Amino acid sequence: MRLSTRSEPTKWRRITVAAERALGGGRTIAGVCIFHAAVTAFVLFDVIGGKRTFLFFHDACVQSFPWLTKIFDATRHGELALWDFNTLGGTSFVGELQPGALYPLAWIGGLLFMPGDPHGVDLFITLHFWLGAVAMHWLSRELGLDHASSALGAIVFAFASAVAFRAIAQPNLFAGLVYMPLTVLCCVRAVKSTTRWEAFAWVGAGAVPTSLSVLAGHVYSSILAMTAAAVGALVWTAASEDRGAARFLRAMRSVVGIAVTATILAGPQIYAAEQYFGLSYRWYGPGHTSPGGHTVPFSAVSPLVLQPEALRTIWKGEDFSPPDEATLFFTKTGLIVGSAGLLVAALGRRRDKAAMLLGPAIMGVSLVLAFGMRGTLGRILYAIPILNVIRSPARYAHLFALGAAIFSAVGSAAVISAVRKLSPLIASGLAIAVVVGAAIEARNIQGARLRSTDNPEYPAQSIYANPLVHEMTRLSVGEGLRYRFFASKDLVNANVGDVLPIFSTAGFRSSSRVIYHEYFNFDPKSEHMDLLAVRWWLSDKPIDGLKELGRVGSTIIYERPAALPVFWIAQPDGRPVPAPIERLDYTHNTVTVRLQEPIAGKLAFAQATFPGWTAVVDGKPSPVETEGIFLATSLLSPARVVAFRYHPAWFIPLSGVSLLVLGGILCIIVFAALDAAKVRARASPSSDLPETKSR
């Protein structure tokens, strides 16, 4: 057998060529990325320059900024932020899901941006605008559209629609929404595939962005993405010449395959959330769900449907409709060009029926879900297991945004194609005018929505310039991080502990563990507060019986001298006494206490129990026990150094499975690319590689 030194390079060149053909060409991809980087810089110039910000809405400032700060800091210290010692008396960080603790792009952000820098968080959000634009452009190209029309769709989707406006309210949800076009693209390619391996490859590829939309911090985005993918699969099936049952089943297998594979890829995060919510209440405005079932009652969902007045927002980007500040806007340029294109296509009898139908189909489904979750129809829709996860039907406006972007892009392509038959020069000018007009609209709308960095909610003011935060940091550090404080959310940022080295018994989340919520009685004189190590209590009203430590403005800082430190000893008679702490060391998932002298007995850590904790005493594993609701371990012989570490047993196995599946997807993609290259080589041996044509 003869071996050729050219065989391996040729194989990898075939893989590269196949990949470029699948994606639209390597140079084209680079050009699209650079183009949309320029558009992002144009539309969000003031954000990039540090003059304006996304951080002024409550959730963005109180949740997203502290959470990203924590993730960035953990990444820089070589850790994953799985636990949060600093809020709600210690709680699962990964289990809440919304912080996005396992989001790979947040890890990359930790390497690029300084933890605690609000401008770094703004740039991280800006990066997702660019990602959304590139993703939408790629989907539009897959639909057979020209680059100008694809650029229009990308600008509409990423910068001037309900998706774009979500960045100021819930950046974590926005980060997940930008992947929707990629899920649809991969599902459509899987349905259109001519070989089994090609279909497998696109199903696997579609699972990656779908899983990222979950890991970014919200399941809503993945549900919307899979809804759009299902619509896309059905549209392509209906528009194909072969509309039989086999074709329909193939389309549905692609949708289900993407969903199942994405679930496995996001397995560690999904399991963490299942475990956490199985022990927690979850809030939905006027009430909360319980661990037995987190489906929000239909009576609380139906009032959150879009009202007829929301239709007026289609024309004006500054108008938002309650509830949830929903909008159906997708630029006047997109609306006019899309409508004109629909008319041109109807008169011209275009053959690309699937592309023409996809946008309106997604828009129609979204409007039914956004407006129809009421009455008998609403109850029928809400009985569908996946759809009843979204508690605010108004958020289907994000699905409408995707359909509207496709509608705009396809309409633009139809108009440009029709004009090109009359005058190529006019068609080129029209293409440029459409893209520039949409970009200017997007810039003006973003400029009207964003606020200056001197707004009072911006972290530089609400956290770093807050004298109460300064004082609590001084007191906490001065006591060696042994104690916690309580303050209502209107006094300090409820999640400030994720930004600075202070420990709070408060926090702002969509959920709270049952055991902690029932124990924390909001009574500053309660023994419960003593055991929780609440040393300081902030109030804007007088509290009798507590020692006033100082005042900051109208806020009184009270000291609770009876509070125990976070480590205390449970004596045999049940009486707790302070542990003789010499030093406390915290990482993101571990707390280590060094005692002044070796002691024996039951050492309690003032944090509510939760599965996944391990204890090490003087370097040796020790069983984790409970003392009341708190974590504890028994020191059978005098010991001086004790560490509690959050290290859930499921994390490594599930992460391993996810990585194996990801590796399998990559292998299938490579194999499918090689197989496609071989098929083309057999069909046209002389054109195996692009270079052979030029030669």
DSSP letters, 625-642, are: EEETTEEEEEEEEEEEEE
Tens of pLDDT, residue by residue over 61-99, are: 999 999 999 999 999 999 999 999 999 999 999 999 999
Torsion 269-499-74-514 (CA) sign: negative
Backbone angles phi, psi at 327, to 5 degrees: -150, 145
Instruction: Assign 386 a pLDDT band (cuts: 50, 70, 90).
Output: confident
Instruction: Assign 10 a pLDDT band (cuts: 50, 70, 90).
Output: low
Mean pLDDT value across residues 518-526 = 94
| Residues 6 or more apart in contact with residue 217 via CB below 8 angstroms | 67, 97, 98, 99, 100, 103, 172, 173, 175, 176
The percentage of residues in the chain with a pLDDT greater than 70, rounded to a whole number, is: 93
Side by side, which strands form the sheet with 547-552? 484-486, 534-539, 555-559, 547-552
- Find residue 534's DSSP bridge partners: 484
The pLDDT of residue 684 = 64
The pLDDT of residue 674 = 85
| Residues 6 or more apart in contact with residue 531 via CB below 8 angstroms | 564, 568, 576, 606, 628, 630
CA distances from 137 to 38, 133, 236 (A): 14, 6, 19
pLDDT value at 692 more than 50: no
SS3 476: helix
CA distances from 595 to 56, 496, 582, 592, 646 (A): 43, 28, 5, 10, 21
pLDDT value at 374 more than 60: yes
| Residues 6 or more apart in contact with residue 336 via CB below 8 angstroms | none
Tens of pLDDT, residue by residue over 96-133, are: 999 999 999 999 999 999 999 999 999 999 999 999 99
Tens of pLDDT, residue by residue over 428-474, are: 999 999 999 999 999 999 999 999 999 999 999 999 999 999 999 99
Tens of pLDDT, residue by residue over 184-213, are: 999 999 999 988 999 999 999 999 999 999
The percentage of residues in the chain with a pLDDT greater than 90, rounded to a whole number, is: 78
pLDDT value at 39 more than 80: yes
Instruction: Assign 349 a pLDDT band (cuts: 50, 70, 90).
Output: low
pLDDT value at 413 more than 90: yes
First to last CA, the chain: 30
Task: Report which of 129, 233, 695 is spatially closest to residue 445, judged by C-alpha positions.
Answer: 129
Q: Which tokens in the block code for residue 134?
A: 């590139």
pLDDT value at 262 more than 90: yes
10 vs 488, residue with greater confidence: 488
Identify whether the C-beta of residue 283 lies closer than 8 Å to the C-beta of residue 96.
no
The pLDDT of residue 645 = 98
Q: Which tokens in the block code for residue 477?
A: 């550090």
SS3 230: helix
The pLDDT of residue 336 = 95
The pTM score is 0.92
The pLDDT of residue 595 = 97
DSSP class of residue 168 equals G
Buried b (16+ CB within 10 A) or exposed e, 174-194: bbbbbbbbbbbbbbbbbbbbe
pLDDT value at 407 more than 60: yes
Upper half-sphere CA count for residue 527 (Cβ side, 13 Å)? 4
The pLDDT of residue 689 = 43
Q: What is d(CA 594, CA 65) in angstroms, rounded to the nearest whole number?
A: 32
Torsion 137-142-143-144 (CA) sign: positive
Identify whether the C-beta of residue 39 lies closer than 8 Å to the C-beta of residue 33.
no
Instruction: Assign 4 a pLDDT band (cuts: 50, 70, 90).
Output: very low
Query: Would you call the peptide bond into 393 cis, given omega within 30 degrees of 0 as the criterion?
Result: no
Q: What is d(CA 126, CA 113) in angstroms, rounded to the nearest whole number?
A: 13
Q: What is d(CA 237, CA 178) in angstroms, rounded to the nearest whole number?
A: 25
Instruction: Assign 325 a pLDDT band (cuts: 50, 70, 90).
Output: confident
Query: Does an H or E element contain 451, and which?
Result: strand 451-452
DSSP β-ladder status, 484-486 and 534-539: parallel
| Residues 6 or more apart in contact with residue 397 via CB below 8 angstroms | 162, 306, 310, 326, 327, 328, 366, 370
Task: Report which of 124, 117, 78, 123 is spatially closest to residue 100, judged by C-alpha positions.
Answer: 124
pLDDT value at 288 more than 70: yes
Instruction: Assign 693 a pLDDT band (cuts: 50, 70, 90).
Output: very low
The pLDDT of residue 270 = 97
157 vs 685, residue with greater confidence: 157
The pLDDT of residue 16 = 46
Mean pLDDT value across residues 288-299 = 88
Identify whether the C-beta of residue 560 lies closer than 8 Å to the C-beta of residue 530.
yes
The pLDDT of residue 685 = 53
Q: What value does the mean pLDDT of the chain take?
A: 91
DSSP class of residue 293 equals B
pLDDT value at 350 more than 70: no
Amino acid at 290: S
Identify whether the C-beta of residue 138 lies closer than 8 Å to the C-beta of residue 31.
no
Q: What is d(CA 35, CA 154) in angstroms, rounded to the nearest whole number?
A: 11
Tens of pLDDT, residue by residue over 641-669, are: 999 999 999 999 999 999 999 999 999 99
pLDDT value at 695 more than 50: no
Cβ atoms within 10 Å, residue 4: 8
pLDDT value at 523 more than 80: yes
DSSP class of residue 6 equals T
The pLDDT of residue 7 = 46
Identify whether the C-beta of residue 596 lies closer than 8 Å to the C-beta of residue 569.
no
Q: What is d(CA 241, CA 203) in angstroms, rounded to the nearest whole number?
A: 22
CA-only gyration radius of the chain, Å:
28
- The architecture (CATH level 2) of 567-646 comes to Sandwich (2.60)
Tens of pLDDT, residue by residue over 578-587, are: 999 999 999 9
Identify whether the C-beta of residue 624 lies closer than 8 Å to the C-beta of residue 660.
no
Mean pLDDT value across residues 150-161 = 96
The pLDDT of residue 605 = 98
Instruction: Assign 677 a pLDDT band (cuts: 50, 70, 90).
Output: confident
Instruction: Assign 315 a pLDDT band (cuts: 50, 70, 90).
Output: confident
The pLDDT of residue 558 = 97
The pLDDT of residue 20 = 45
pLDDT value at 329 more than 70: yes
Domain ranges of the chain: 8-43+117-452, 468-559, 567-646
Instruction: Assign 5 a pLDDT band (cuts: 50, 70, 90).
Output: very low
548 vs 345, residue with greater confidence: 548
